Structure 1
Amino acid sequence: MKKIVYILLLICSTAVAQIERVEPPFWWSGMHNPELQILLYGADITRYTPTLSDTTIIKEVFFTENPNYIFITINTKNLPATDLVFTFKDKLNQKPAFTHTYSLKQRDSNSAQRESFNSSDLVYLIMPDRFANGNPDNDSSNKVIEKANRNLPSGRHGGDIAGIIQHLDYLEELGVTALWSTPFCEDNDAKTSYHGYAQSDVYKIDPRYGTNEEYKQLAAEMKKRGMKLIMDYVTNHWGAQHPMYKDLPFYDWIHQFPGYSQSNYRMTTQFDPNASKIDAKNCMDGWFVSSMPDLNQSEPLVLNYLIQNAIWWIEYADLGGLRVDTYSYNDKEGIAKWTKGITDEYPNFNIVGEVWMHDQAQIAYWQKDSKIAAIQNYNSHLPSVMDFTLHDAIGSVFNEDNSTWNDGMIKVYENFVDDFLYPDINNILVFIENHDTARFNEIYKNDFDKYKMAITLIATIRGIPQLYYGTEIGMAGDKGKGDADIRRDFPGGWAGDTNNAFTKKGRTAEQQKWFAFTSKLFNWRKNKAVIHTGKTTHYLPENNVYVYFRHNTTDAVMVLLNNSTQPQTVTTSRFAENLKGYTKGKNILNNKTIPITNAISIPPKSAIVLELQ
């Protein structure tokens, strides 16, 4: 008898070992969408049929062409937080072979109505590997290939979640209210894995950054300070080290031609009425690069996997938003369903998509409820997009000292002329640079006056301002030397750094000058509803001076940007429609109050921000 029991235990333990991966690893009760698709992976796992004692819970069991995968769809409607015990029966004899316990957890109260980032926020973008090394013990890990090498510009440098948590005071002092970090999930590429966009496990934080629990702690520590954590999510592709690429559930899990074909990157083919089908296919289905397999969002199992993964992180880590990488390269219909699946679950949740295009109509096409996209009966359901056309203008305008019909501040003015194209103009991300673009301070050779004009602009116009790490202390970097140069280590983030820019005492006089200006401006902005949601009235630039007003029923702010190399005097009678009832203004940049009834003098290459009184 003992021998029979031993043999049965041996069989069961062998079977249990066959379940190598379960995704999502757990779920929650009370979700808006009660259907949950559970992926189980293990060697020859299709030998077994999963069952539950309550036969009404399992809606579908899907066996793929790969015998190592089972997809189980269950209905969680009206189920409390509980442990579901699946019994797996051998198909040959229909006898139980092993069990697996799957947990439905209690959902946090008010989770569905969570707050998300909006136009009242300052979003701070970091690359965690380059920000601060709070735990040197995790710089390298035997679980991943690439080891730390700070001497290699494109190598792993050791920045991590612990380093971010340790410097939340710095972010708070700067005026940051939301943090967007490039991806934290595991990227097991053999080199240049620090950027995180070639993910090899989308349910696990890269061990060189920390753990899932530490990521959750980061969000919790930020929430205590009234700050929101934004996850950088990649729907378009994974990395070549992802186990599901190495052992595909089925052939069409990724786009194949067969095999690899690179994207033509022509995102206009997504809506061009004259585009050929092959060009549109090669944009959407082509791979971003050869090391990043392109996911097939038109396949329901893939799409549902991506929707659930995003929701899992939102629920698990208590996230305050998503930024979606390469949004407009995805399968057009699939990405719309992905976005709607998340916003149906979280009606107030904000998602900003990277739509790197150079025409306002083309960018606006991708924002939720776009009238332009409606012409083609399309709705992306994407709440927010990035103002890349403003970024383009900012990259050259402050070197254009003399205004012409097309050059100078007219470029900025003309960008806002097309605001009517956007369904929700307050919900677009405005920025002077990010982790993929040329560094502003490199373009303008650390010209502080030009920096002040640019930062004043994005801090006072419509939309959500985004600041790239280190810009506020004058950090530069030459994109011509490679991406690593625009992603340098933040000074003071590593033990032994001679310059610690995280503290006033540790900053150089030059760094402090930049930081003081930036923090003053954005801390002022925090409580200014007139900036967050007010209307804009602007005036054609004269003598390269751009003047605009932000106003609502109770407040008004007047902004003047003099981009010429000469001092200018602006006669205020021209602005009568916005100055009615106002006689003076307090310049929040120097705390001086000036009269505005006749004229305002403004120095060359400078900004004035007046709270009207």
Structure 2
Amino acid sequence: MRKLLLTLSLFSSFTFAQIQKVEPMFWWKGMKNPELQILVYGKNISTYNLELSDNVKIKDIQKTENPNYVFVTINTNEVNKSSFKINIKNKNKVVDSYTYELKNRQANSANRNSFTSKDIVYLIMPDRFANGDESNDSKKELIDKANRQIPDGRHGGDLRGIINNIDYIQNLGATAVWLTPVNEDNQKQHSYHGYAQTDLYKIDARYGTNEDYRELSRQLNKRGMMLIQDYVTNHWGSLHWLIQDLPAKDWIHQFADGDNGFKRSNYRTTAQFDSNVAEIDKKEALDGWFDSTMPDMNQSNPLVVNYLTQNAIWWIEYAELGGMRVDTYPYNDKVGMAKWVKAITDEYPNFNVVGEAWMHSPAHIAYWQKDSKIAEIDNYNSYLPSVMDFPLFGAIPKAITEDESWDKGMIRIYDNFTNDFLYPNVNNMFVFMENHDTERFNEITNGNINDYKLGLTLISTVRGIPQVYYGSEIGMRGDKSKGDAAIRQDFPGGWKSDKQNAFTNDGRTTEQKQFHDFTAKIFNWRKNKEVIHSGKTKHFIPQNNVYVYFRYNDNESVMVVMNANTEKQTLKLDRFSEALNGFTSGKDIISNKNISVDTNNTISIDGKTSMIIELKK
């Protein structure tokens, strides 16, 4: 009889609700917005009573159509203890509980530094950079195992590998590190890129731990550098635990005429502001899935937006981040995203967020920047501080490699900057030659170092925030037509078995040294040049495929000359007299030569070269 009672007791306990997940797992006191919504997940958990210990008041309880979820809202300002219990009760009996911790924020956390035009951003795909911990290359609980022989497979790069090579990044002159997503991506294939995340609160174990991620950020911060998180709001991985057991059908966008709810986006995100758009096209652009394994999140659902908002703030606070880059920004519900980014910047007024809006018109890009006059037509404000200058990205390789004509050659660069009046904040824009989704710049130019020098000179001296993609600084190439893996190759020296180590000067080839040394020279010069960070621009229409512009403020002026021709060109300096007024000489920081800029004289520049002249009176 005693055995029977014991069996019945055990059976009864297992029928009660068990808390399987709580998100966020913990939070902080003293946030500007004291309201916190806690997701509590467990089998049929909403059919039980939920209470909080220590007289903590529940402001709101929200249940969804899925009984496995409860969303509990509290006011953290009303909680006087460092922790309390979330109790699940069957009638009057507590059947499960979770101790919820409210931590103390670090001093001045709300005013943390974030990336600005003073910074240079180094973009890394962690799986392909350096393997600092071989023990985590494959994990039993994660599907995709490490195999460097598979181009689209996991190669073993990790956070420890990046930590081990911070000296290299710092010496190059970069001041901020942007990692492609490192949260858990437990999809069956191609999980190395990280954009199909399956747990938003957990670093992928093949990269390391949450603690490793925070350590990387802190190590960077100690050097006056910072970590930028790549945040994905538009889609999650199909194997995300929340996707596998949806809180509600409208947590994601689903199509009745699709394959299990899936319909691919038409990718025409100009539908966001096209006054002539057909509604079916707009719906498929914004609600369609980015890929069959990437369900499209519904940011018009307040629970979804709040989940994403709290998750972003959690990472900023926990990992002491210096900024965020948001993937596929125009694919999201723009109203929901405005709420998301405003909540973040309300909590952290100095925090910078840059959105990827892969569009080709400056007007289309400008629409997405905070306080855009263009967006006012729609009575809309994105509140997004920074945008990526994709029109400039598209123009650079063409301008450098093609012959001059009315609308070709360096005039493309000039024309791009004639649109600067559209942007609310031209200094807060990413300027770049390539990234992890594009053809390698050095592939387009067939590895021509002179073309690289021209491109790097440009992004390092114009308005905005220069971003360089790992490996470009040693001449890495990659043909995107052969697949994304071709533009995401392993950095030589990141693995113990590598025959070459390009992280060291002695390990670089002569050609790699040329790329690297030029990059380091320009970047380290730029660090302390306020005139480049926030100065004004005066540029002159290119002649004979030579582009000349000045960056200036009240204290100094820099003259940049770019010759995209293969032949030497001679320029009459009197044409630039309005910018050279008061200056007679200068020093070219590239060649270290003194230069006369007397307007009665001329200046000569070799083919496929640039000059960055610090002017002197």
TM-score tier after normalising by the smaller chain length: over 0.9
Deviations 1:64-83 (A, max 9, x none): 11111111111112535610
Contact persistence 1:538–1:549 (CA under 8 A): yes
Contact preservation (8 Å) 1:30, 1:78: no
Matched with 1:200 is 198
Report how many aligned residue pairs link the two structures: 609
Match of 1:299 in 2: 301
Q: Match of 1:223? A: 221
Q: Residue 341 of structure 1: SS of its match in structure 2?
A: helix
**8 Å contact kept, 1:30–1:80:** no
In structure 2, do the counterparts of structure 1 residues 4 and 72 end up closer, same or farther at CA, with 3 Å as the change threshold?
A: farther
* 1-structure distance, mates of 2:13, 2:388: 52
Which whole-Å CA distance do the structure 2 matches of 1:495 and 1:544 have between them? 46
Query: What secondary structure is seen at the aligned counterpart in 2 of 1:385?
Result: strand
Residue equivalent to 1:70: 70
Q: Would the aligned equivalents of 2:287 and 2:296 in 1 still touch at CA under 8 Å?
A: yes
How far off its partner does 1:57 sit?
2.4
Match for 1:360 among 362, 367, 378? 362
CA deviation string 1:6-39 (max 9, x = no partner)? 8999589647871111110100011111111111
Q: Which amino acid aligns with 1:321?
A: G
Structure 2 Cα separation of the partners of residues 394 and 305 of structure 1: 39
Residue of structure 2 equivalent to 1:84: 84
User: Structure 1 length as normaliser, TM-score?
Assistant: 0.97
Cα drift, residue 592 of structure 1: 1.0
Identity %: 60
Which residue in the other structure is 2:596 paired with? 595
Q: 2:156 aligns with which of 158, 175, 180?
A: 158
Q: Distance in 1 between the 2:140 and 2:73 partners?
A: 35
Match of 2:248 among 244, 247, 250: 250
**Contact 1:29–1:80, Cα closer than 8 Å, also in 2:** no
1:237 matches 2:235: yes
AA partner of residue 406 (structure 1): D
Structure-1 residue corresponding to 2:133? 135
- Which position in structure 1 is the counterpart of 2:339? 337
Hey, what's the Cα distance between the residues in 2 that align with 1:113 and 1:14? Answer: 47
In 1: Cα distance, 2:149 partner to 2:541 partner: 50
Deviation at 1:590, TM superposition (A): 1.6
Q: Which residues of 2 match residues 55-66 of structure 1 at below 5 A?
A: 57-66=57-66
Task: Look up the match of 2:610.
Answer: 607
Deviations 1:470-497 (A, max 9, x none): 0000000000100000000000000121
Offset of residue 3 of structure 1: 10
For residues 13 and 286 of structure 1, the distance between their equivalents in structure 2, rounded to whole angstroms, comes to 43
- Residue in structure 1 matching 2:380, options 371, 378, 386: 378
Which residue does 1:464 correspond to in 2? 465
Q: TM-score with structure 2 length normalisation?
A: 0.96
CA contact (8 A) 2:18 2:96 kept: no
Q: Which amino acid aligns with 2:373?
A: K
Asked whether the 8 Å contact 2:54–2:84 carries over to 1, the reply is: no
Q: Aligned partners of 1:18 and 1:4: how far apart in 2?
A: 23
Using the TM superposition, give the Cα deviation of residue 218 of structure 1 relative to its aligned residue in structure 2, in angstroms.
Answer: 0.3
Counterpart for residue 450 of structure 1: 451
**Rounded Cα–Cα distance in structure 2 between residues aligned with 1:57 and 1:3:** 42
Distance 1:520-1:17 versus aligned 2 partners, 3 A rule: farther
Q: Which residue of 2 aligns with 1:262?
A: 264
Contact 1:16–1:99, Cα closer than 8 Å, also in 2: no
- Code of the residue aligned with 2:413 in structure 1: it is V
CA–CA distance in structure 2, aligned partners of residues 30 and 358 of structure 1:
42
CA contact (8 A) 1:366 1:385 kept: yes
Shift of 1:398: 1.4
Show the counterpart of 2:491. Answer: 490
After superposition, give the CA deviation of every residue in 1:428-461 in whole Å (9 maximum; x if it has no partner): 0000000001100000011011110000000000
1:71 partner SS = strand
Q: Is 1:518 matched with 2:516?
A: no
Distance between the aligned counterparts of 2:108 and 2:7, measured in 1?
50
2:538 aligned counterpart, secondary structure: strand
2:101 maps to which residue? Answer: 103
**Cα-to-partner distance string for 1:100-142 (whole Å, 9 max, x where unaligned):** 2100001111111110001000000010000000001100001
Residue 586 of structure 2 aligns with which residue? 585
Q: Is the 8 A contact 1:548 1:560 kept in 2?
A: yes
Flag the 1:599–1:16 CA change in 2: closer, same or farther, 3 A. farther
Aligned-residue offset at 1:94:
3.8
- Give the 3 Å change call, closer, same or farther, for CA 456–80 of structure 1 in structure 2: farther
Q: Distance in 1 between matches of 2:442 and 2:16?
A: 57
- Hey, what's the Cα distance between the residues in 1 that align with 2:554 and 2:503? 39
Aligned-partner SS, 2:229: strand
Give secondary structure in 2 for the equivalent of 1:536: strand
For residue 413 of structure 1, what is the amino acid of its counterpart? Answer: Y
Structure 2 equivalent of residue 46 of structure 1: 46
Aligned AA (1:24): P
Where does structure 1 lack aligned partners over 5 or more consecutive residues? none
Matched, 1:436 2:434: no
Q: What amino acid maps onto 1:490 in structure 2?
A: F
Q: Quick check: 2:232–2:327 contact (8 Å CA) kept in 1?
A: yes
AA aligned to 1:172 is Q
The code of the aligned residue for 2:233 comes to T
Query: Quick one: distance in 1 between partners of 2:320 and 2:16?
Result: 32
* CA RMSD of superposed structures (Å): 1.7
- 1:499 Cα deviation after fit: 1.0
CA offsets, 1:40-65, max 9 Å, x none?
11112123221124556211111211
Runs of 5+ in structure 2 lacking a partner? none
Residue 95 of structure 1 and its aligned partner are, at CA, apart by 3.4
> Displacement of 1:99 after TM fit?
2.5
State the alpha-carbon separation in 2 of the partners of residues 117 and 229 from structure 1.
9
